[in-house]
Structure 1
Amino acid sequence: MAHEQTNGEDEALPESAGKRSYSVPAAEKALDILEYMAGQPHALTLTEIAAALRRSVHELYRVIQTLEARGYLYRRADSDRYRLSLKLFELAHQMPSVRQLSDSALPVMQALSPVAQQSCHLAVLSGHEALIVLQVDSPLPMRYSVMLGAKFDFAETSSGVVIYALSKDTVREQLDAWLAQDGRSPEELASVASRAAAIRARGYEVQPSLAVSGVTNISVPIFDHLGHVVAALTVPYMPQRAAKVSLERVRELALEAGRQVSTNLGAGAQRQDEMAGKRRG
């Protein structure tokens, strides 16, 4: 990484492939910190962050102060340990497309949860991960739910595989390439392909959770006004004595909720059925 310039100006790097690139040391340090902290489960001191990034405390001190002042990092008043805040997540939700999706889905999900007596969540594809952008808890005292902002390997979630299955060929090819590079076994690759084919034929997935025993995921696609799949609405069905609504009935409710969210986004009913049941590319 380039050294910081004493005159504060950007440093031009050698031209490559006809393009001129520049190094902005302070920005690079800030991004290094944010990207590193995004994967840390525990709060860290400045010294620990500097050691992990192979930089000196002096190099990062003012950058971390700025990130804290702007709300990207936070720490308790009595602590010297930093955590990543949810500000990046909040900024992402201010994007018109994500905000429109959230506004369209939230009231539908809030109506679905008490009727189904189950939690539900909405996920979008972020690279090769399923990102949880909305979460509504079950009204029952005992519930299973996922954390807002959590990310999961797309192939290990019903939400991710539903989006994958109904996406364009180019998106599926990119995700297939990532799975291959990630060293997935032939059995795993075959399982994802088989699930995707079943989703394209049926239009949704009902699948035992790969993460939690006893939970059955009911996942339905969300389409936009162009007929593109943009998200998946998932009900992690957890059977219990207090839950009086059957799995089959919750499946019907989830499908209707998915159609309603898609309608709110401008997708026509006939178009939704065509895209969910017949899409191949």
Structure 2
Amino acid sequence: MHRENVVKSVSRALDIIALVATKKGGLGVTEIANQIDINKSSVFRTLATLVQYGYIEQDFETQKYKLGYKFLDISSKLLESIDLRAEAKPFLQELEKTTNEVIHLVVYDQGEVVYIEKLEGNETLRTHSKVGKRAPMHCTSVGKAILAHLPDKDVLGIIDQKGMPYHTDHTITEEEALLDELKQVRQRGYSLDLEENEYGITCIAAPVFDHLGNVVAAVSISGPTTRMNTDRLTQLGPIMIQTTQQLSVRLGFVR
């Protein structure tokens, strides 16, 4: 592993977590220091920080350190995403089959969307998207589909934190214009990306809700603007809404 551009304290913390995870009964400061060749005071400081955040816990009887329950919290969030992928797969495959276009499933995370599934379709389309990649919310159909159903304070917080950077001449870069657009998305039930993220590519998306009624994901169809014209988008709109409503029901959503 190349250690350039690595923050030493973070690297040290991750090494300690990986080591502690291998021992069911936990490890003491000296054992950890000996195994990863870091002085005991540095190990102790790192462990103290990890304990404070819940990633490591100390057994007061043995004084040994072991993994904390914070990892269960994180893994449960990951599992929720994996369950979403499994539930969504048949719906995404049906969309791919009926449209032959690229289909995406994304989740919302820290002011951005993350692609967790991509079906390529039968048509050739060069896009920047790939599973695991993050994308901005203000200029993607999936992002706008989710933003439209977040509380206003969250939307304003995201805009404040991430800004509204220019991607193409069609990107919405004014807050008021985006808020107006999100109102339209709520009214019609789906969102559009009209070459706002990438030139030549148009997308349509709709939101997915969980059993609590919270927006948790979005599904989109992406294609070249030449194919994804106004008539086709009008035809795809009800299909997107129906698909994401059915998926939401699978996740326990009740209207």
Q: TM-score, normalised by structure 2?
A: 0.64
1:207 pairs, out of 193, 213, 227, with 193
Percent identical among aligned pairs is 22
Equivalent pair of 2:190/2:237 in contact (CA under 8 Å): no
The RMSD of aligned alpha carbons is 3.4
Distance 1:187 1:100, change over 3 A: closer
2:182 pairs, out of 191, 196, 205, with 196
Structure 1 residue 92 displacement after superposition: 6.9
Equivalent pair of 1:218/1:236 in contact (CA under 8 Å): yes
Structure 2 residues not aligned, in runs of 5+? 1-7, 13-36, 52-73, 167-171
Equivalent pair of 2:195/2:225 in contact (CA under 8 Å): no
Equivalent pair of 2:189/2:241 in contact (CA under 8 Å): no
Letter in 2 for 1:226: L
Letter in 2 for 1:10: V
CA distance in 1 between counterparts of 2:117 and 2:165 reads: 31
* Pairing 1:98–2:81 present: yes
Task: Give the structure 2 partner of residue 7 of structure 1.
Answer: 40
The 5 A counterparts of 1:61-100 are 95-100=78-83
Equivalent pair of 1:144/1:238 in contact (CA under 8 Å): no
Structure 1 residue 224 displacement after superposition: 0.7
Deviation per CA, 1:138-189: give whole Å up to 9, x if none.
Answer: 123x234521111112222121122112012442242133145x889x9522
Equivalent pair of 2:165/2:173 in contact (CA under 8 Å): no
1:113 pairs, out of 72, 83, 96, with 96
Distance 1:93 1:147, change over 3 A: farther
SS of the residue 2:90 aligns to: helix
* Pairing 1:123–2:106 present: yes
Task: Give the structure 2 partner of residue 134 of structure 1.
Answer: 117
CA distance in 1 between counterparts of 2:232 and 2:185 reads: 21
CA distance in 1 between counterparts of 2:76 and 2:49 reads: 29
* Pairing 1:160–2:187 present: no
Letter in 2 for 1:143: L
CA distance in 2 between counterparts of 1:206 and 1:192 reads: 12
Distance 1:5 1:254, change over 3 A: same
Distance 1:252 1:117, change over 3 A: farther
Task: Give the structure 2 partner of residue 253 of structure 1.
Answer: 239
Q: When the two structures are aligned, how many residues end up with a matched partner?
A: 192
SS of the residue 2:174 aligns to: helix
Moved more, 158-167 or 206-215: 206-215
Deviation per CA, 1:50-92: give whole Å up to 9, x if none.
Answer: xxxxxxxxxxxxxxxxxxxxxxxxxxxxxxxxxxxxxxxxx97
CA distance in 2 between counterparts of 1:154 and 1:92 reads: 25
Deviation per CA, 1:184-217: give whole Å up to 9, x if none.
Answer: 9x95222322221211222211330212233221
Equivalent pair of 1:125/1:231 in contact (CA under 8 Å): yes
Distance 1:125 1:112, change over 3 A: same
Equivalent pair of 1:5/1:11 in contact (CA under 8 Å): no
Task: Give the structure 2 partner of residue 143 of structure 1.
Answer: 125
Structure 1 residue 218 displacement after superposition: 0.7
Structure 1 residues not aligned, in runs of 5+? 14-19, 25-90, 272-281
